[in-house]
Structure formats: C-alpha cells, structure tokens
C-alpha cells in the first residue's frame, strides 16, 4: 500500500528528493503499523518523536491505511 509521508526537523535530509511541503510517497505492505513504517524508513523510535495520521497522534502499534497522510516529527532535545 502507499502512504504519503512528511518528515519534519532534520529527518527529511536523509532522503534525496523529499519535499518538505509535499512529502514523499512510500510503499509499504498492507496492514503495516507505525513501527513498520519507521523501520522501513530507518528512523529510530526516539528519532521520530511524534507520528500523526488523519489528524490524530498515532502509537507505534496503530495500523496505517492506504493513502494515509503521515507526518513524522523529530524529537527535540535540549540542554
């Protein structure tokens, strides 16, 4: 299935062609969960601090739907 992914913070720098405004289309197996998408994108769970889809915050075990628009926000650490 295909999902549209927008990456925020410096996460998008890993992916040539990632458009900050439009995101990128990602092909993942049907029935994939948020944790599967993060693994596919090689984003550690701590690196992708908040994941939203369809207007709600998603948990790692939440299942994604075909054509979902997913936003992955980078965790921010300060000192």
CATH of the domain at 39: 3.10.20.30
Q: Which domain holds residue 46?
A: 2-74
- Specify if 50 maps to a domain: yes
Residue 77 confidence (pLDDT)? 57
3-state secondary structure of 31: coil
- Specify if 9 maps to a domain: yes
**What mean pLDDT is predicted for residues 7-22?**
86
Count of domains for the chain: 1
Band (pLDDT 50/70/90 cuts) for residue 44 is confident
Q: What percent of the chain has pLDDT over 90?
A: 62
- Specify if 79 maps to a domain: no
Q: In the 8-state DSSP scheme, what is residue 63? A: B
Q: Say if residue 5's pLDDT is above 60.
A: yes
Answering whether pTM is above 0.85, one says: yes
**What mean pLDDT is predicted for residues 68-72?**
95
For residue 18, count other CB atoms closer than 10 A to its CB.
15
Q: Say if residue 48's pLDDT is above 80.
A: no
CB of 52 within 8 A of CB of 58? yes
């Amino acid at each position: 299935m295909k999902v549209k992914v927008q990456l925020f913070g410096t996460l998008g720098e890993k992916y040539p062609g990632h458009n900050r405004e439009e995101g990128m289309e990602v092909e993942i197996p049907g029935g994939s969960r948020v944790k599967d998408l993060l693994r596919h994108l090689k984003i550690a769970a701590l690196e992708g601090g908040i994941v939203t889809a369809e207007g709600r915050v998603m948990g790692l075990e939440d299942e994604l739907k075909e054509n979902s628009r997913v936003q992955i926000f980078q965790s921010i650490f300060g000192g």
